[in-house]
Amino acid sequence: MSLKIRLARGGAKKRPHYSIVIADARAPRDGRFIEKIGTFDPLKPRDAEDRVKLDVDRAKHWLSHGAQPTDRVLRFLDAAGLAQRPARSNPQKAEPGAKAKERAAEREAKAAEAASAE
């Protein structure tokens, strides 16, 4: 059985509240889980100490048994010092797409044409 450490959503509409759970990878996101090891409240400020509550001992236990954390949970585990999150670098992420580059070139050409006409 492959285990995941992931978030299970709770709370009302537009008021999310997440539980950090250990679940079988085949189980639905908000469905059956094995154990709840913490909570995450995204509505609280980033610097609030109770935004993420995590049972560190149980997280260590499940990591030693081969549970794989999701990306978001890996951030929490990295902040707690339990797992190392690899650095990501995507320099092309902020670069505009081909169509946006074409529109920018057209705008520059029109501006240069208008400037030379004056």
In a domain, 86, yes or no: no
In a domain, 52, yes or no: yes
61 pLDDT band, cuts 50/70/90, is very high
In a domain, 85, yes or no: no
pTM > 0.75: no
Q: What percent of the chain has pLDDT over 90?
A: 73
CATH of the domain at 64: 3.30.1320.10
Query: Which domain does 56 fall in, by range?
Result: 3-80
Q: What is the CA radius of gyration of the chain?
A: 23
In a domain, 75, yes or no: yes
* Residue-by-residue DSSP string for 48-62: -TTSEEE-HHHHHHH
Note the pLDDT tens digit of each residue in 81-107. Answer: 998 888 888 888 888 889 999 999 999
In a domain, 105, yes or no: no
In a domain, 87, yes or no: no
Residue pointed to by tokens 């190392």: 84
In a domain, 94, yes or no: no
